[in-house]
Amino acid sequence: MKFSFKCLVAMSRVSYNEIYKYSPPSWCKHLEKCPTHRAALALTPTPIHAWKVPGLPEDVKLFVKRDDMTGAALSGNKVRKLEFLLADAIQKGCGSVITCGALQSNHCRATAVAASQLGLETHLLLRSEEDVDAIKSSGNLFLSQMCNANVYLVPKRAKYETELKPRQEALAEAILKKTGKPAYPICVGGSDSVGLHGYLNAWNELLDQKVQDNFDDVIVTCGSGGTIAGISIGNYLTGGKLKIHAVAVCDDAAYFHGHINSMLEEIGLSSETCSEDIVDIIEGYKGAGYGISTPEDHELYRKLAAATGIFCDPVYSGKGIKGLISELNINRKRFKGDRFLFVHTGGIFGLYDERMFDFFEKDVNRIYDWKDIEKSANGFLES
């Protein structure tokens, strides 16, 4: 397969970290609430290549869109949304941003990093059951703190609309009184009608990479709903030639369809289509809950890394590919064809939050003492 790099040429005309006027792709210019500006933060276009994942049916041709490579500390799908959200914050004269998520939130880490790059202060409301003194700064939380983010612990099961959003509003009011500058609130995952344009543009990138010619089905992991909203709406607006699937790692199909339908209403498309017609939500793979994984999951992620050199985290991409492998083996009829594109949304820093460390120490330890190898009859070296 050959993929175009037209996007890279266009991006080279804009300096990294620059805020510039945004012109939407021609096929979505008519949408309501289009952003006016964009920040150059993501390293795009991200590549597409074959992915020889163990356990797939032999006739399946699987490729991966490497949105885990959108940057270093900004890696993953979140940065595409933040290009529009943070540009909007700056255009509105804000001096800081406030967002929320889990303790190991990829979105919150990416927000802290990108905000630092653009000169904004960051405030994070993070869900946790632990006391402040018991929190360990590892993984995404460590990087957020390296970027000087202000972290506020909130109840682990706090809902956005009724508990987190009011806290954001109260914090924004306090920041305005203290600094004289407004703070910009960002919802969970940056998955609103502004952040939506991150993956409408990613779809335009995929069109340049001939996604409609080379694939039948596109699969993405779904946590807050913004990425799948952009991809499914983009596919719809450009002819709906592919079947779009989302593996849910939290909530259920009804929740995500409701979220996408709200997006459709905000951008003026609700009279044309509905979420149920443009995306297939795959349930049954969140396991014991959001962010909870098992030793069996860890073994799968290890095998994927060993066989392909691609890392999948225990919250998002790992459960997404697990769901795809399973559904291809037990429920093949839900898919359109045999040419699949998995959009890897990142999450590598979630591997550093210690949940997998015990597994590797007990079951997958491949660290040897050189003296023991030389002494062992079954060692790698002949005496």
**Which of the pair, 380 or 274, is modelled with greater confidence?**
274
Q: Which of 53-57, 136-140, 154-158, 222-226 has the lowest mean pLDDT?
A: 136-140
Apex CA 40: angle with CA 11 and CA 66, to 5°?
70
Helix (H, G, I), strand (E, B), or coil: what is residue 320?
A: helix
Question: Over the stretch 321-368, which tens digit does the pLDDT of each residue have?
Answer: 999 999 999 999 999 999 999 999 999 998 887 777 766 666 666 777
**Who contacts 195 (Cβ-Cβ below 8 Å, separation ≥6)?**
81, 82, 84, 85, 186, 189, 226
**Which of the pair, 95 or 364, is modelled with greater confidence?**
95
Burial class (CB in 10 A: 0-12, 13-18, 19+), 11: middle
Active-site residue, selected from the candidate residues 75, 96, 105, 128: 105
Architecture of the domain spanning 78-190: 3-Layer(aba) Sandwich (3.40)
Report, as an integer, the average pLDDT of 98-119: 97
Rounded-to-integer distance, Cα 152 and Cα 167, Å: 10
pLDDT band for position 5 (50/70/90)? Answer: very low
Predicted confidence at residue 370, as pLDDT, reads 75
Closest C-alpha among 361, 205, 356 to residue 295: 356
Report, as an integer, the average pLDDT of 73-97: 97
Active site residue 271: no
Apex CA 189: angle with CA 209 and CA 290, to 5°?
105
Closest C-alpha among 205, 235, 258, 242 to residue 42: 205
8 has a pLDDT exceeding 80: no
102 has a pLDDT exceeding 70: yes
Report, as an integer, the average pLDDT of 90-101: 98
380 has a pLDDT exceeding 60: no
Closest C-alpha among 34, 37, 27, 60 to residue 321: 60
Integer-rounded Cα Rg, in Å, for the chain is 21
Q: Which long-range contacts link 128-137 to residues 24+ away (Cβ below 8 Å)? A: 128/103, 128/153, 128/154, 128/156, 129/155, 129/156, 130/103, 135/103, 136/354
Q: What is the DSSP string of 23-82?
A: ---GGGTTSTT--SEEE--S--SPPEEE---TT--TT-EEEEEEGGGS-STT-STHHHHH
DSSP tag of 331 = -
57 preceded by cis ω (within 30°)? no
- Residues 336, 328: contact at Cβ < 8 Å? no
Rounded-to-integer distance, Cα 221 and Cα 219, Å: 7
pLDDT band for position 371 (50/70/90)? Answer: confident
Q: Which of 112-116, 171-175, 300-304, 374-378 has the lowest mean pLDDT?
A: 374-378
DSSP tag of 162 = I
Report, as an integer, the average pLDDT of 245-267: 97
Q: What is the largest CA-CA distance in the chain?
A: 76
Report, as an integer, the average pLDDT of 167-182: 98
Predicted confidence at residue 354, as pLDDT, reads 72
What is the percent of the chain with per-residue pLDDT over 90, rounded to a whole number?
Answer: 81
Q: Taken in order 216, 253, 333, 63, is the CA torsion positive or negative?
A: positive
Q: Where along the chain do the CATH 3.40.50.1100 domains lie?
A: 6-26+37-74+192-361, 78-190
**Which of the pair, 71 or 372, is modelled with greater confidence?**
71
Helix (H, G, I), strand (E, B), or coil: what is residue 284?
A: coil
Mean pLDDT, the chain, whole residue set = 92
11 has a pLDDT exceeding 60: no
Predicted confidence at residue 379, as pLDDT, reads 54
Domain at 6-26+37-74+192-361: CATH code: 3.40.50.1100
**pTM of the predicted model over 0.85:** yes
Report, as an integer, the average pLDDT of 117-139: 91
7 has a pLDDT exceeding 60: no
Rounded-to-integer distance, Cα 343 and Cα 65, Å: 5
CA distances from 161 to 185, 242, 260, 275 (A): 13, 33, 16, 21
